Amino acid sequence: MAGRECYHCKQWVEEGEAHDCWTTTESALTQDLSEDLRDAWERLRETAASFGDQRIYASHNSIMFSRKSCYFFVRPKKSFLEVCVFLGRAVKAPQVRRVVRASKSKAVHIIQVRHRDEVEPPLTDWLQEAYVLSDVLAMKVNVRGGVVKHAAKRSDTKKSKTSRKSSAPRSKRR
């Protein structure tokens, strides 16, 4: 029999057989949660879904909440839910375990949730703030009232820097 061993999951895959070991679902990630964690997860998901239009999907070990880009995600663990929220500022609060700079405009806040009662303000306020911020960062309002995408702005800036470099030669310093 012809086939191969998947280098990710080490499962034998027959020739011509479809195999995608990276495919996962929300239910697969949350099926082994305790009752308290499952209640917390359901409340967290309901809260985020109430914010408006977005995409909620499972990816590897996380459940992602996304508009144009991910604004927060949840990693279900054995004894807690690790909630990672992208905000435009660093928040100091007892709920926040760690803050890591993700980019120039965002910092990821790592929060551990162990019970349904923890899914309330200020956590829900931070989730709402992240939801709004993701839209603001996706589009920037121009002074004239038009909308300019960041990617277009970056390419214009890059082009102007290149033209400045080539137009004026550097003088030698002594």
Distance of CA 22 to the CA centre of its chain: 18
Amino acid (one-letter) located at 85: V
pLDDT at 152: 45
Note the pLDDT of residue 144: 38
SS3 18: coil
The burial of 24, by beta-carbon neighbours within 10 Å (0-12 exposed, 13-18 middle, 19 or more buried), is given as middle
CB atoms within 10 A of CB 91: 16
What are φ and ψ of residue 49, in 5° steps? -65, -30
pLDDT of residue 96: 97
- The pLDDT value recorded for residue 141 is 38
Question: CA nearest 63: which of 39, 89, 81, 90?
Answer: 81
pLDDT of residue 138: 75
pLDDT value of position 10: 74
Burial class (CB in 10 A: 0-12, 13-18, 19+), 44: buried
Say whether the peptide bond before residue 76 is cis (omega within 30 degrees of 0): no
Q: Residue 15: its pLDDT value, please?
A: 83
**pLDDT tens digits for the chain (174 residues)?**
688 887 667 778 888 777 766 667 898 899 999 999 999 999 999 999 999 999 999 888 899 999 988 999 999 999 999 999 999 999 999 999 999 999 999 999 999 999 999 999 999 999 999 999 988 887 753 333 555 554 444 444 444 444 444 445 555 555
